[in-house]
């Protein structure tokens, strides 16, 4: 099996002004960058700036009309694994995340994924559970290990993220499991 | 209790070019219009044309910065009950629907809702189940009665919608239940 580093896409799911999501993603990406098994890429949906889904053919056909779709397809297609960094809005994940997912199809298939969720008391757990169901339908492989970040415990008075050793450990455990399944999944796709 | 007609918003959830959603919503709205308990309004998200969520304050505060949010707030705030007409994308409902929901907060609260879903073999059932969870978090009251429309059985060769007596009956049963709970819920909000 190939020993080339795994291409890891850290998807910043929230795009709203004032989001904490980019900080959470940067914390996670810094840990991933210290892990030699991965080459880490931050895919910030606010920068990628997709409109609401506007393709007229089913994404499974891969016949994209728009440049923004082709650019996103190329980014996602080049990855071996993903970490979705998501907040919880009304018990689910934000529209920006579902939108970015639904634009594509084969680019996700047979790839490993993990979820870093954040929110109030339950750390975005409900959003993460909904996202798992969607990833499953896309034939992605979501690892059980996750980061479930309770903002009530991890923001300073200026509302900046304060990670701790426990969170770092959760992130590393998630990365270990992601690496473990990404290597054989890569051979599936290149068969 | 007030006997004024209930204001019913039929939300067209899909905004993609080539969608069948508007046809499904128009079929449903025509049935609702024959029901004297309701005044029916088709709220087509493609026409309402919201951007991806771009407010910086939490919608629960109701302090909206953007005109598009204020317009949407006024439309939703004037309704007593909603029917969400949704397709299924990857086991969930489309980003356009979550986006329109997440823009607002109090405008949804203590209102009745029902779901008309459509899709391949399972008629969008998974999308409907996810939407029920979100409506619940918003303290909306989703009726059990639903229309679950299998497109495989209800499209002609030109891919135009062909409803039948069974679907019409489901729509009427849904409207009956929606009316039944909307009347007392209205007194809750006006208390």
Q: What is the 3-state secondary structure (H, E, C) of B60-123?
A: HHCCCCCHHHHHHHHHHHCCCEEEEEEECECCECCHHHHHHHHCCCCCCCCCEEEEEEEECCCC
Inform me whether the C-beta atom of residue B3 falls under 8 Å from chain A C-beta atoms.
no
> Considering only alpha carbons, which residue of chain B is nearest residue A95?
B95
Q: For A13-158, where are the E strands, in sequence order? A: 38-44, 81-87, 112-119, 141-142, 147-150
* DSSP state at residue A122: T
If one counts every other C-beta atom within 10 angstroms of the C-beta of residue A187, the result is 10
Average pLDDT over residues A143-164: 95
Model ipTM over 0.90: yes
Give the helix/strand (H/E) hosting A29: helix A21-33
Rounded to 10°, the helix A125-137/B125-137 angle is: 170
Burial class from Cβ neighbours inside 10 Å (0-12, 13-18, 19+) for residue A96 reads: buried
Do residues A75 and A127 make contact, with C-beta atoms less than 8 angstroms apart? no
pLDDT tens per residue across span A70-93: 999 999 999 999 999 999 999 999
Burial label for A23, CB within 10 Å (0-12, 13-18, 19+), is: middle
Q: Does position A1 have pLDDT exceeding 80, yes or no?
A: no
Beta-bridge partner residues of B83: B10, B114
Q: Label residue B49 by pLDDT band (50, 70, 90).
A: very high
DSSP state of A146: -
- Contact check, Cβ <8 Å, A130/B126: no
A85: nearest Cα among A28, A153, A170, A169 = A28
Q: How far is it, in rounded angstroms, from Cα A110 to Cα A121?
A: 33
- The C-alpha atoms of residue A118 and residue B67 are separated, in whole angstroms, by 29
Residues of A in contact with B15 (CB under 8 A): 52-53
Please give the pLDDT value at position B1: 61
Pairing of strands A38-44, B112-119: unpaired
The verdict on A89 touching B (C-beta cutoff 8 Å) is: yes
Please report the pLDDT score of residue A191 as a whole number.
Answer: 64
Q: Which residues pair with B163 in a beta bridge?
A: none
Q: What residues in B contact A56, CB-CB < 8 Å?
A: 16-18
Give dist(CA A72, CA A95) in Å, integer. Answer: 17
- Range B58-63 average pLDDT: 96
Distance from CA of B145 to the nearest CA of A (A): 22
Average the pLDDT over B145-165 and give the result: 95
**Interface residue A98 vs chain B (CB under 8 A):** yes
For the segment A107-127, what is each residue's pLDDT rounded down to a tens digit? Answer: 999 999 999 999 988 999 999
Give the residue-averaged pLDDT of A29-50: 98
Q: What is the pLDDT of residue A74?
A: 98
Task: Tell me the DSSP string of A36-74.
Answer: TTEEEEEEEHHHH---S---SS-GGG----SHHHHHHHH
A149-178 burial code (b ≥16 CB/10 A, e <16): bbbeebbeeeeebebeeebeebbeebbebb
Question: Is the pLDDT score of A140 beyond 80?
Answer: yes
Confidence of residue A59 (pLDDT cuts 50, 70, 90): very high
B89-127 pLDDT per residue, tens: 999 999 999 999 999 999 999 999 999 999 988 999 999
Longest dimension (CA), chain A: 52
């Amino acid at each position: 099996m190939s020993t080339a580093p795994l291409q890891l896409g850290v998807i910043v799911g929230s795009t709203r002004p004032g989001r904490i999501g980019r900080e959470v993603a940067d914390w996670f990406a810094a840990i991933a960058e210290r892990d030699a098994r991965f080459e880490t890429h931050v895919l910030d949906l606010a920068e990628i700036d997709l409109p609401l889904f506007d393709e007229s053919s089913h994404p499974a056909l891969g016949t994209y009309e728009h440049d923004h779709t082709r650019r996103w397809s190329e980014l996602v297609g080049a990855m071996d694994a993903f970490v979705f960094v998501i907040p919880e809005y009304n018990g689910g994940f934000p529209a920006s995340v579902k939108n970015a997912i639904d634009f594509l199809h084969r680019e996700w298939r047979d790839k490993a994924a993990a979820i870093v969720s954040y929110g109030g008391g339950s750390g975005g757990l409900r959003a993460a559970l909904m996202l798992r169901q969607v990833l499953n339908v896309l034939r992605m492989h979501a690892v059980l290990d996750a980061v479930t970040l309770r903002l009530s415990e991890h923001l300073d008075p200026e509302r900046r993220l304060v990670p701790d050793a426990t969170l770092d450990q959760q992130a590393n455990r998630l990365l270990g499991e992601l690496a473990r399944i990404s290597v054989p999944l890569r051979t599936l796709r290149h068969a």
